[in-house]
Amino acid sequence: MKAVVAYGNGKLEYKEIDEPAVPEGYVKVAVKACGICGSDLTRVLSNTAHSYPFVFGHEFSGVVVELGEGVTATSLGAHVAGIPLIPCMACEDCGNGDYALCKQYGFIGSRQQGAFADCVVVPVQNVFTIDHSIPLETAALFEPCTVALNGLFLSNLREEATVAVIGSGTIGLFALQWAKICGASKIALISRGNQQDDLVYQCGADAIFNTKSADFGSQIETYTKGRGFDFIYDAAGGTDTVHTAFAIAGNHGVVCLIGTPKSELTFDVRTFEHINRKNLHVTGSWMSYSTPFPGREWSMTADKLMSGALRFSDAMFYKKFPMSEAEKAFDCYTRGEKVQGRVLLVNP
């Protein structure tokens, strides 16, 4: 089979590799689409992989083409979205249903060979069967969609609350939609002015604020009537966006950090005072899993998508490339393009 093999910093080769066997309890999925996540960028472009050579890719969808011995939970021809986390299922955290906190976990596309390939072999628990009416390219967005929803669950978002989402990437757009579905009263996107406004409003935002505006602070003050936001979801993971999250939070506000900063983050006295004097509640949100595995995040994504309450717009994709042109896909991020949305690698 063919796969996109990374050999180091920016070194990719689309080449023939051995097709993996399908052990007991595993399935082989013919990959139809796989998104390029921010974590893939650092592994391919910044030497952060556990090892090389390696096949990355964890936001995938496809068709089940082979069943290992004993597999009954899915069937040949099933359309599936990939579930990348492989929890050990034996530790205390897994026993509590906190699969994302498992310390002995595996992960498709970072700790075991991933889906930038013709096919991928995974445990049967790591495929989520979807209705055939859902386009497989759309299904490649299931994983980031569940990541956004997990943040709302962990923060205990309440109805009628005011919400700010920082970052207009894929997870930020889904966070807007989930906030709307969960009954938030006011929903604002906070960004640097690089968003697609029409798409942002379609995803449920009532207002957009640009942090580069000279009067950004006074705009937020006016919009929230001096109260600040009740819930803030930082889906950008920038060193500056974390500070912004604390600054725009209201008293007893909840700040949920979903994005991951890629450089060192320090708190100055002013940031600490925001946390301390507003009695803020701060939570991280890592991945997207609950019991029974993979959890309500995945079933709710499928249900809301089928009902039409959740929208997977074509505008969420920036560009689509054949898997054989993976180098061109990653070049989008190195040649200064203004990438808005997921870059997708697809197979026929």
CATH number for the domain spanning 238: value is 3.40.50.720
For residue 125, the enclosing domain spans 2-141+312-346
More confident residue, 206 or 39: 206
**What pLDDT does 123 receive?**
98
> Averaged over 30-40, what is the pLDDT?
96
User: Do 39 and 149 fall within a single domain?
Assistant: no
In a domain, 40, yes or no: yes
- Report the CATH number at residue 75: 3.90.180.10
User: Can you give the length of the chain in residues?
Assistant: 348
Q: In this structure, is residue 294 part of a structural domain? A: no
Same domain membership, residue 175 and residue 133: no
Asked if the structure places residue 201 within a domain, the reply is yes
Please tell me whether residues 58 and 168 are part of one structural domain.
no
Mean pLDDT, to the nearest integer, of 270-285? 96
CA distance 93 to 58: 23
Residue 258 has a pLDDT of 97
CB-count exposure of residue 50 (10 Å: 0-12, 13-18, 19+): exposed
In this prediction the pTM is 0.95
Confidence of residue 46 (pLDDT cuts 50, 70, 90): confident
Residue 297 forms part of a structural domain: no
Same domain, 79 and 152: no
Please give the tally of structural domains in the chain.
2
Q: What was the pLDDT predicted at 171?
A: 96
Question: What residue spans of the chain are helical by DSSP H?
Answer: 38-45, 92-95, 136-139, 142-155, 170-181, 197-202, 216-223, 239-248, 269-277, 296-307, 326-334
- What value does the mean pLDDT take over residues 179-199? 95
Residues 220 and 242 in one domain: yes
Confidence label for 263 from pLDDT (cuts 50, 70 and 90): confident
pLDDT above 90 for 48 = no
Q: Does residue 51 register a pLDDT over 90? A: no
